[in-house]
Amino acid sequence: MNRNLSAFICLSAVMFAAFIFAHVVFGAEESKDEVQEAVRRMQQRIEQIRKEDPNNSFAVAAQYKVLFERFPRTIEGKMAAFEVYEIHRKAKRQQLALGTLALILTVYKDYETLINPLASDKPIGICATAQIEMASMYSEDLGTPLIALETLSRIPYRYPNQQVGILAGDRQYQGRAEVIALWHTSRVQTAMGEPSNAIMTLRELCSTYPKEEVMVAEGKVLKVTELALHEVHRSLSASMGGLPRQLSDLSEFESLIRTPEDKVYMLFIKGELTLDAFVKFKTSGLAEEACGYYLQVIDKFPALEIERGNIKRRPAVEAMERIARVYEDYMGNPDHAVVELDRLYSRFASINEGSLAPYALFIEAEVQHRHNNLEDASRNFLKVKNIAGNALLYPSVKGQESTLTQKADEYTKEIEKERKK
């Protein structure tokens, strides 16, 4: 199969190179206005096909391919090349998708770029992106991770300082080529069942490119350390090693963590890995240990807020919610959750501005409400209304902010309705 695929790619590349040459010579006779008009008509044709038969992805890809072939040096032609690839890959037509990437690498020079609509000063390297995508296909679709690793290893040397990215669809990303190559390398190593190697790669990523940022799915922008922590968590969760080995591997990464945000996420990772072990072995001490990590978040970062895009979070509040869930859902003991939250409420009750007390009481009331202890829940929600003031309800979305007082009032009215039934 691999020989046939290689032959298909080589033959397609040779034929397409000749085809492109003919079109470039012919296209040189067309004025800029004629080219723009031709591109506009072709785009209209694509939209028409999509409306007539939304499921006919092959026909849409064929039209994009014509646009790519006829005007490969226009913005629209370059984007059309990746549209063809994306359509075929999404439709599981691996040979056509990989063949399209090979054609892209044949037609374009290493220095040619696409306009980046998200950052005009950071154009996207066409060939570097095609190489990243080719490695992704080798690993995820064709089951050849070693070829993927080989492909990724060449990218930092061939395309230094270039930007790469896919800016639409469910595999959205953008960043420096070297950073994305190392990130993808760690993901391939995780898929191969090599979490220790993946973590070593992520250590290299953080130590070499500590100030870089990467855009990931849904346009979210992460610092390299944040991205690496997400991948460390994913890698360790997928590993077959026990909790001591997981925590040991995690400690190898800990020395690179500097910011309060990253330290919080590290503690959350430790808590989640410990809970995973609890689910596997049903040892109550592991659940308590997980809560210990969440309590460290509360102790060390009580006032910290983390803002990403339009969403603001407060890790200490999230830690309280996680403690409640450990006792409520994992251990099946909501009464103990209430005891722990009441203890946190008492601890912070004497603190005024920015206090965690109303949050502890609010979460305690939510637990009571979920378990039909309506009398205690109602009393605590009323108390929250009296002490919370303008304390924000987290997570808080910019432009849609709500307060604990407002949410407690909603719960109080809901409980009154339930009592009248």
Q: How many domains does the chain have?
A: 1
Residues 6+ apart with CB under 8 A from 183: 175, 205, 214, 227, 231
| Domain interval for residue 302 | 259-421
Is 352 within the bounds of a domain?
Answer: yes
Percent of the chain residues past pLDDT 90, beyond the cut: 62
Residues 6+ apart with CB under 8 A from 339: none
Is 388 within the bounds of a domain?
Answer: yes
pTM of the model: 0.80
Is 129 within the bounds of a domain?
Answer: no
Give me 382's structure tokens: 């009323």
Is 284 within the bounds of a domain?
Answer: yes
Amino acid 412: pLDDT: 92
Instruction: Give the DSSP letter of residue 312.
Output: E
Calpha distance 404→410 (Å, rounded): 10
Q: Which of 235, 294, 223, 319 is nearest to 262 (CA)?
A: 223
The average confidence (pLDDT) of the chain is 88
Q: Assess contact for 277 and 288: CB atoms under 8 A.
A: no
Is 199 within the bounds of a domain?
Answer: no
Query: pLDDT tens across 102-141, in order?
Result: 999 999 999 999 988 878 888 999 999 999 999 999 999 9
Q: What is the CA radius of gyration of the chain?
A: 27
Amino acid 8: pLDDT: 45
Is 143 within the bounds of a domain?
Answer: no
Instruction: Give the DSSP letter of residue 373.
Output: -
Q: Is the pLDDT of residue 267 over 70?
A: yes
259: left (phi over 0), alpha (psi -120 to 50) or beta: beta
Token pair 């950073």 is found at 179
Amino acid 11: pLDDT: 46
Residues 6+ apart with CB under 8 A from 9: 98, 99, 102
Is 341 within the bounds of a domain?
Answer: yes
- The CATH number that applies at residue 292 is 1.25.40.10
Is 376 within the bounds of a domain?
Answer: yes
Calpha distance 337→363 (Å, rounded): 10
Query: pLDDT tens across 359-411, in order?
Result: 999 999 999 999 989 999 999 999 999 999 889 999 988 888 899 999 999 99
